[in-house]
Amino acid sequence: MARAVTSQRKTINTVIAWGVGLLIFFPILWTILTSFKTEAQAINDPPLFLFFDWTLENYSVVQERSDYMRFLWNSVIIAGGSTILGTIIAVPAAWSMAFVPSKRTKDILLWMLSTKMLPAVGVLYPIYLLFIQLGLLDTRIGLVIVLMLINLPIIVWMLYTYFKEIPGEILEAARMDGAGLRDEILYVLTPMAVPGIASTILLNLILAWNEAFWTLNLTAANAGPLTAFIASYSSPEGLFFAKLSAASTMAIAPILILGWFSQKQLVRGLTFGAVK
Interaction residues for other proteins, span 76-115 (CB under 8 A): 89-90, 92-93, 95-97, 99-100, 102, 105-106, 108-110, 112-115
Distance of CA 12 to the CA centre of its chain: 33
Interactions with other proteins, residue window 214-273 (CB under 8 A):
216-217, 220-222, 224, 226-228, 230-241, 244-245, 248, 251-252, 255-256, 259-260, 263-264, 266-273
Give the distance from CA 46 to its chain's centroid.
Answer: 36
Candidates 54, 60, 116, 187; binder of other proteins (CB under 8 A) is 116
Is residue 20 at the binding interface for other proteins, with CB under 8 A as the rule?
yes
For the stretch 13-22, contacts whose Cβ atoms lie closer than 8 Å and that sit 24 or more positions apart, written own/partner, are: none
Residue pair 205/83 in contact by the 8 Å Cβ criterion = yes
* Closest C-alpha to 164, from 117, 116, 105: 105
* Interaction of residue 117 with other proteins, rule CB under 8 A: yes
Pick one of 2, 5, 50, 274: the residue that binds other proteins (CB under 8 A). 274
How many residues line the site for other proteins (CB under 8 A)? 121
User: What is the DSSP secondary structure assignment for residue 47, as one 8-state letter?
Assistant: P
Task: To the nearest 10°, report the CA torsion of 40, 46, 52, 54.
Answer: 50
Q: Is 38 in the site for other proteins (CB under 8 A)?
A: no
Stretch that binds other proteins, among 43-51, 52-60, 186-194 (CB under 8 A): 43-51
Distance of CA 209 to the CA centre of its chain: 5
**Choice between 44 and 54, CB closer to other proteins:** 44
> Cα–Cα distance between 216 and 226 in angstroms, integer?
9
Question: Using CB under 8 A, which residues numbered 162 to 191 contact other proteins?
Answer: 181
Report in angstroms how near the CB of residue 93 gets to other proteins at its nearest: 4
CB of 115 to other proteins, least distance (A): 5
Residues 6+ apart with CB under 8 A from 276: none
Instruction: Find all residues with CB under 8 Å of 78, minimum gap 6, and list them.
Output: 140, 143, 144, 147, 208, 215, 223, 225
The binder of other proteins chosen from 62, 78, 154, 201 (CB under 8 A): 154
Do the beta carbons of residue 213 and residue 143 sit within 8 Å? no
Which residue of 123, 134, 173, 194 would you call a contact of other proteins, by CB under 8 A?
Answer: 123
Provide, rounded to whole angstroms, the least separation between the CB of residue 273 and other proteins: 7
Dist. CA 68–CA 62, nearest whole Å: 8
Kindly indicate which of the ranges 7-15, 51-59, 187-195 contains the residues binding other proteins, using the contact rule CB under 8 A.
7-15
| Sole window of 52-60, 186-194, 212-220 interacting with other proteins (rule: CB under 8 A) | 212-220
Of 176, 154, 183, residue with least CA distance to 93:
154
Which CB sits closer to other proteins, 52 or 272? Answer: 272
Among 55, 63, 138, 141, binds other proteins (CB under 8 A): 138
